[in-house]
Structure 1
Amino acid sequence: MKKALLLIFIFVFILSGCNVQIIDTTWKYDKAYINVGNETIICEISSWKDYENSDMIQVRCKDGRSFLGHSSAIILVDE
């Protein structure tokens, strides 16, 4: 039992040194920066969704626009 606790402690210590977030607890974002070509669109987020088996994110803006894009082109910001 003590060995298991020691291994867990060492594992968590190593991960914290790598700056890895084990559990993502941020679910609310205020703004989205969406890169479309050479243009960056900024919108206030009404809702967003990430897809489980994909790198795609869908963002719905408060002004009614919707964007579906790769996670590398969309930045979600919590202010």
Structure 2
Amino acid sequence: MPSSEDEWIYDRRRRLGDRLRELRLHANLTQEAFADLCGIDRRTLQRIERGTSDPTYGRLLRIARALRVPVEDLVRE
């Protein structure tokens, strides 16, 4: 369980995951097809979308490229 000091980090991860899911669905992609397009494991993508994984910058770059959006759009407030 995260400490109350770190709760904001987990909240931001969940919002990032929600944003990725929204963009993926808007692109009409399944998790499997999207993971293949990004070059990452489907389970990794699932954890990122749920907000339980802290994605590396490299993964965020891959995801942004696959979605054809700037990485900044993924992490914006």
Q: Which has the higher strand share?
A: 1
Please classify the TM superposition score into its range, dividing by the shorter chain length. Answer: under 0.3
> Between Structure 1 and Structure 2, whose CA radius of gyration is higher?
1
